[in-house]
Chain A
């Protein structure tokens, strides 16, 4: 079909009518970022009228989280490139935060001269509301999951919290046993009282006993002053015994006594003390199997195992990886202040996500958290790429879970340096941990934990 005549060009008024009928906010600026047009949707989203906005610099109207150091519109005008998909929040006329997604393009005249830029933006309040609802459904305290086994655990937590039953939490290192214990405490009637955690696997018996039950002055060589144990500190609240499966049989007897009659004696004391403490225990070991091998007392096993909750490892719930990535990206944006300085990280690239999904995660969620933190140190742009991930993940080498205690991403340069310093100071003091701890400015217990973590043995 052949046109009879050239179609007429729309008038400015007709263009304005069209723009006003668009559901997205649209505005244009000149080269100095002064607003030159402002459509009806822009008025509705921002609360400012076109009359107020036109003639004003756009950053004074939108007051977004990127206006002062990451303005996409300025970038489009400077580079001539279109940008899209950035999510920011603006402040509306009432000073309320409104989440929007932004797309920008450069505006040029018929002869190619630079006129300014155009920005379209969409109100994401409803989307954000939906996200919040999804987050609420998939979140328990600091745990995030949509996996059906995790959801089954989440569903039990309120009932478990309302009871006084002893709870045993099972799961590999890094699956969030401590976070689950905390969530149970926070939902219980004891939530206003202390939540005290002890890692039973990181201390030898003598230190663990003093840690749990405290000691009186003079109980042993370094005990110059009396010290309260974790049981006393947790009185009225919750005591979380992590890695209870690593506790020696001798310590298990002492623990059983507290659980049976609520009394204990601090190291060196002659009188028993009574406490009201709810016990939550956790382990990465198969306790039933340890009972069978007589490495764990059967009576204690049944005492701490009224309710058993099992957290599956991350490799068995890959559907949680994108959700957890979003969760940690949002957290590190906030922690590092990037969300407010225009350097907000929006997520990971498809290649990086593929690598994250392929990896075996021996250190579970904690390792994923560290991987995202590692990427935040390296990433300069808004997207985490394959090159920003730790090499054991980006290198596409699947690592088998060895159920090892440390889990995580293995040794680092910092660990090596710390190991070297500790070994030197120990050697200087002939292996005396108390003296080495004093020189290093850490307690004997802390030094022991560090030695254990770093694999340092006394010669």
Chain B
């Protein structure tokens, strides 16, 4: 079992680690993602978030972007950082559990090249739940 935490902005993956204290936390086992719960860091400052995540037993964090100092703090605690992910957090969680986060192009690590709009990695058709009326899977309204 591996516990992961996805930084949240509304229902979406937070574009920047440290911009929000809310995380979608779930355990990933051989049969996929377990029940996911939204946890709020009881930290007074984003500097304390890495230690809080460690105390939860988290071993990987998913976010949009992350300032270097937080990445270094997390990695020093043995927590893997997966940045460059955008879109609905629950979809990212499922893709991670399936091991298809990269293949489904949720990831937009800076060096990725080729193709049109590679960063629009969580379009409905890529997730198999196409909704022509929506720009994003499961997220018709912008987060607040």
> CB distance B117 to A51 under 8 Å?
yes
Q: Is A33 an interface residue (CB 8 A)?
A: yes
Task: Give Cα distance in the complex from A57 to B66, angstroms.
Answer: 18
- Which residues of chain A are within 8 angstroms of B29 by Cβ–Cβ distance? none
A52-B117 in contact given A95-B84, A97-B67 (Cβ < 8 Å): yes
> CB distance A33 to B64 under 8 Å?
no
**For the side of the interface on A, what is the size category?**
20 to 34
Q: Is B96 an interface residue (CB 8 A)?
A: no
Task: Give Cα distance in the complex from A64 to B14, angstroms.
Answer: 11
> CB distance A63 to B68 under 8 Å?
no
A32-B142 in contact given A63-B64, A68-B16 (Cβ < 8 Å): yes
**B101-144 at interface with A (beta carbon < 8 Å):** 110-111, 116-120, 135, 142
> CB distance B86 to A69 under 8 Å?
no
Q: Is B19 an interface residue (CB 8 A)?
A: yes
**B residues with CB within 8 A of A:** 9, 14-16, 18-20, 44-47, 64-68, 71, 83-84, 86, 110-111, 116-120, 135, 142
Nearest-neighbor residue (CB-CB) of A69 within chain B: B19
A59-B15 in contact given A52-B117, A52-B118 (Cβ < 8 Å): yes
A97-B68 in contact given A34-B135, A67-B19 (Cβ < 8 Å): yes
Of the candidate stretches A251-259, A296-304, A336-344, the one touching chain B is: A336-344
Cβ contact of A55, chosen from B9, B65, B84, B117, cutoff 8 A: B117
21 contacts between A and B (CB under 8 A): A33-B142, A51-B117, A52-B118, A56-B86, A60-B64, A63-B15, A63-B16, A63-B65, A68-B14, A69-B19, A91-B66, A92-B110, A94-B110, A95-B66, A95-B68, A95-B84, A335-B45, A337-B46, A340-B18, A340-B19, A341-B19
Nearest-neighbor residue (CB-CB) of A341 within chain B: B19
Nearest-neighbor residue (CB-CB) of A337 within chain B: B45
> CB distance B120 to A56 under 8 Å?
yes
- Which residues of chain A are within 8 angstroms of B120 by Cβ–Cβ distance? 55-56
A 47-58 binary contact with B (CB < 8 Å = 1; else 0)? 110011001110
Q: Give the dominant DSSP class at A's interface.
A: loop
A91-B16 in contact given A63-B64, A336-B45 (Cβ < 8 Å): yes
A 160-204 binary contact with B (CB < 8 Å = 1; else 0)? 000000000000000000000000000000000000000000000
> CB distance B15 to A67 under 8 Å?
yes
- Which residues of chain B are within 8 angstroms of A76 by Cβ–Cβ distance? none
> CB distance B9 to A59 under 8 Å?
yes
Distance in angstroms from A331 CB to nearest chain B CB is: 13
Q: Is A65 an interface residue (CB 8 A)?
A: yes
Instruction: Give the 10 A-B CB pairs with smallest separation, nearest first.
Output: A91-B65, A68-B19, A63-B65, A337-B45, A94-B110, A63-B15, A93-B110, A63-B16, A60-B86, A59-B15
Which of A62, A91, A93 is packed against the most chain B CB atoms within 10 Å?
Answer: A91
> CB distance A68 to B20 under 8 Å?
yes
> CB distance A48 to B14 under 8 Å?
no
Nearest-neighbor residue (CB-CB) of A70 within chain B: B19
Nearest-neighbor residue (CB-CB) of A96 within chain B: B68
> CB distance A60 to B45 under 8 Å?
no
Task: Give Cα distance in the complex from A91 to B120, angstroms.
Answer: 17
Cβ contact of A340, chosen from B46, B71, B110, B111, cutoff 8 A: B46
Nearest-neighbor residue (CB-CB) of B9 within chain A: A68
- List 4 other contacts, CB 8 Å, given A52-B119, A69-B19, A340-B18: A64-B16, A95-B66, A337-B47, A340-B19
Task: Give Cα distance in the complex from A59 to B66, angstroms.
Answer: 13
Distance in angstroms from A103 CB to nearest chain B CB is: 21
A 402-415 binary contact with B (CB < 8 Å = 1; else 0)? 00000000000000
- Which residues of chain A are within 8 angstroms of B116 by Cβ–Cβ distance? 51
Cβ contact of B15, chosen from A32, A47, A60, A341, cutoff 8 A: A60
- Which residues of chain A are within 8 angstroms of B19 by Cβ–Cβ distance? 65, 67-69, 340-341
- Which residues of chain B are within 8 angstroms of A67 by Cβ–Cβ distance? 9, 15-16, 19
Distance in angstroms from B31 CB to nearest chain A CB is: 31
Which of B67, B111, B135 is packed against the most chain A CB atoms within 10 Å?
Answer: B67
